[in-house]
Amino acid sequence: MAGYVSTFVFYQALAYGGTDVADVLAAMERGEHDVTDRVLGISRTLGGIEILVRIDGGPLHSVGHFSEAGPIAADRQLFDLGTLEHGSVEVTLRMARGSWRLDEVALAHVSEPVEPVVLDPVRVEAMAPGSDDGLARLLDPDVHLVTARGDARRIWFEVPPGAHHRLFLDTQGYYYEWMRGEWLEEQSALSAATVLENPAEALRRMAPRFKAVQTGWKHSSGPAAFGGRTMKRLGRIALLVTLLAVGAVPAVAQDAVSVPIPVTGRDINLVLTDGERLSGELIDADAHRLLLWGSSGLREIDYARLTEVEARRHGFGSGRALAWVGLGALVTGVGMTAACSQVDGTSCGGVFLGMTLSWAVIGGLFAGSVASGQYQSVPMDPTALRPLARFPQGAASRFVETNRSVPRPPR
């Protein structure tokens, strides 16, 4: 089965988000439930596939539900219909029209359980110059193999001799989705907000474009078959895959990245027991210490040395607020003065001053409120800090090696 609609919606939403996508993905990675719930709202609106069964003419009842946001790939699912001793069986699949492509629907008998034989890698060959083979990290469940752009490895397993074997690759990991420059042409804050806040309306607006690119799907499949700007880019997308588990097979980025947008951790302020104050990006937070990247490079700080931790909530401080207030005062004052001057016999000398003072009073209160909410206090323990880090999964070793003495560039 293949989720054509969900794949289209995913990449169209990326285009709408543009340069803000990295912030959204970072918030989801940190476990901010409100953001995750809003992002997945459009997937829930599309719905999945519900499996219903009627036995011997009885009522339909649900036995399972399947849903995922893409990709365009084969995916076989098995659902238990219960014990069927005799009589007729009617199976109904309920889904959104056009949202899924089913290659096969079949009944199968479940045999006795089979115990799989777990095979660890026996040899790894690094394809990219300068890369280690990574075999030790693949075999150690407590460490991760992290791949970067251009990395490729060929992994060997020893399959036991004898009868025919069915092979399954069990992997886990993370991957980074890279934006492309031409996608930014469709960046729209209003469309992105509609996807998050009103997914049903967003789907209605996407429907005409999706219909236009659907031509040719009956005779071919995959990104190469799609017409239109949105779906053509699926065939050219560059993926940097970072697979992080035993037996994980790294993938290779196939194309250059036009506009790399990094996923970063939260900016935090620290107060230490000796009174020292530090600021920077939270890179990692394990059971014993946190890793801060600031103007002097990377610093490891034990939790015992902390007296206060604040995490940045937004970048709209009092300075930016006052700048907008000043702009509003100028535009409003000039506009009101110009309007006043159109009325004969009216003295307009105090209009500009009055508008400026009004904006100053309201803006000052607003700026103070914004500034006070720019940072929030965070508990000084790894459970609270790890979701805010750049590497919440704890795979920061390569980053540390590269940036230990490098000052963090200004944002």
Q: Nearest 5 degrees, angle CA 105-CA 107-CA 112? A: 130
Predicted local confidence at residue 122, as pLDDT: 92
Length of the chain as a residue count? 411
Predicted local confidence at residue 182, as pLDDT: 79
Q: What is the largest CA-CA distance in the chain?
A: 104
**All structural domains of the chain:** 267-315+377-403 (2.30.30.100), 318-372 (no CATH)
Look up the pTM and report it: 0.45
Predicted local confidence at residue 233, as pLDDT: 35
CA-CA-CA-CA dihedral for 191, 193, 197, 202, to nearest 10: 10
Q: Nearest 5 degrees, angle CA 147-CA 148-CA 152? A: 60
pLDDT tens string for the chain (411 positions)? 556 788 788 888 888 988 888 888 888 878 887 888 888 888 888 888 899 988 888 888 898 988 876 556 667 888 888 777 767 888 899 988 777 878 888 888 888 888 888 899 999 988 877 667 788 888 888 888 887 777 788 899 998 887 778 888 887 776 666 677 777 888 898 998 899 889 899 998 988 888 877 655 544 443 333 333 333 333 332 222 222 222 333 333 333 333 333 457 888 999 999 999 999 998 888 888 888 888 888 888 888 899 999 988 776 667 777 777 788 778 887 877 777 777 766 777 777 788 778 877 777 776 677 667 778 888 888 888 888 888 776 656 666 766 666 777 766
**What are phi and psi for residue 139, nearest 5 degrees?**
-90, -15
The residues facing 281 across adjacent strands are 267, 293
Tokens in use for 222? Answer: 């995959």
DSSP run (H or E) holding 330: helix 318-341
Q: How far is CA 399 from CA 189, 274, 291, 395, in A?
A: 32, 28, 11, 8
Peptide bond into 71 cis (omega under 30): yes
Predicted local confidence at residue 364, as pLDDT: 74
Query: What's the one-letter identity of residue 330?
Result: L
Predicted local confidence at residue 105, as pLDDT: 86
Helix axes 351-372, 318-341, angle to 10 degrees: 160
The DSSP symbol for 178 reads P
CA distance 331 to 352: 10
CA distance 82 to 100: 25
Could you identify the residue written with the tokens 């000039």?
A: 334
- Cβ–Cβ < 8 Å for 281, 390: yes
